Amino acid sequence: MRKVFDPGTKKKTLTLIDNVVYSNVKDLEGNPLELKMSILLQNGNSEMRLAVGEDDPKEDHSPKPALVWIPGGGWRGADKNLMLGEMAEFANAGYVVTSIYYRSSAQGHYPDQLLDVKTAVRFLRANAEKYEIDPERIGVFGRSAGGHLSAMMAMNQDGFDGEEWAGYSSEIQASCDMFGPVDVRALMEGEEARFSDPNFRWHRLEDTHGGALIGGDPATMKERAELASPVNMVNPKMCPLQILHGDNDPLVPIEKSSEVLYQKIVSAGMEDRVEFYTFPGAGHGSREFFQDSVKKLQIEFFDRYLKK
């Protein structure tokens, strides 16, 4: 059987560039550590270039907006490619999608994690031409611990930039926080309240997710956790922020995190910069958050601010 089939050329080719080193830092013991990212983008037919020596003439290499995916994992470290399979829709929507590894709480204490994300943004601006990025249009998004860092990035605070890629801004233009623990002190206190349960996994503040992130003297952890909480950092430099949270989240209760952040933003007179979506019945990172309808919601949000 022989037939003629015309598939058209609507969909563009995606390329994955893995293990790109964006920063060289040291862990808590002074050991050198390379921080890497993956980059997923529409930059032509890479294998065609290798085999034929030229690209598909239909490809478009114009600058594109970029999104930085910040993984979760309780700040204890997560493979940068763990959720990469969920990123294709964003790349197909015309974004350069990068997924980063940042220092875990065993490798660095806050604000090391925020500094790492800011360094990644500065790296992208410094290498914008190489990766076909428009340096004026960069956003971030992340889940859980990555949602916390996404919300912190949205505040566009000064004072958290390292020496790498000096001269390039780490400010972002849009952010999406997916069920992030944006009040670290409240998270720690919620875990502390369960220490009397012999079946609970932790019985010391320094062992909890928040305690391991903050580090140092347990006697001052809660006080210092307030400086790592986006609920306390709302300011006029905040970029547009989308918040997604389930109302049945047992790990990061919505009323002690996203609800508080939303109300703080509204009280600051910036309600026009925040979108707060609650997902009925959704837990912490349950499958509701990765439905096509949710990705469409996220893409529409980023399009409004990164594709003007």
- pLDDT reported for residue 9: 85
CATH code for the part of the protein at 15-183+240-306: 3.40.50.1820
The residue ranges of every structural domain in the chain are 15-183+240-306, 184-228
Residue 14 neighbours by CB under 8 Å, 6+ apart? 40, 41, 42, 88, 91, 92
CA angle 295, 126, 20 (to 5 degrees): 65
**How many CA atoms does the CB half-sphere of 283 hold within 13 Å?**
4
Q: What is the pLDDT along the chain (308 residues), one digit of tens a residue?
A: 999 999 998 888 899 999 999 999 999 999 999 999 999 999 766 665 655 566 666 667 889 999 999 999 999 999 999 999 999 999 999 999 999 999 999 999 999 999 999 999 999 999 999 999 999 999 999 999 999 999 999 999 998 988 999 999 999 999 999 999 999 999 999 999 999 999 999 999 999 999 999 999 999 999 999 999 999 999 999 999 999 999 999 999 999 999 999 999 999 999 999 999 999 999 999 999 999 999 999 999 999 999 97
| C-alpha dist (Å) from residue 22 to 119, 154, 305 | 7, 21, 25
- pLDDT reported for residue 52: 57
Q: Are 244 and 294 in contact (CB under 8 A)?
A: yes
| C-alpha dist (Å) from residue 28 to 106, 110, 114, 157 | 7, 11, 16, 24
- pLDDT reported for residue 111: 97
Helix, strand, coil proportions of the chain in percent (round to 5)?
A: 35, 20, 45
- pLDDT reported for residue 11: 86
Tell me the two tokens of residue 269: 């007179």
Candidates 43, 40, 39, 41; CA nearest to 60 is 43
Candidates 105, 68, 112; CA nearest to 206 is 105
Task: Please state, in angstroms and rounded to a whole number, the distance separating the CA atoms of residues 122 and 166.
Answer: 8
Task: Please state, in angstroms and rounded to a whole number, the distance separating the CA atoms of residues 82 and 217.
Answer: 33
Regarding beta strands 96-100 and 64-70, do their DSSP bridges make them parallel or antiparallel, or are they unpaired? parallel
Q: Are 276 and 262 in contact (CB under 8 A)?
A: yes
Regarding beta strands 241-246 and 274-279, do their DSSP bridges make them parallel or antiparallel, or are they unpaired? parallel
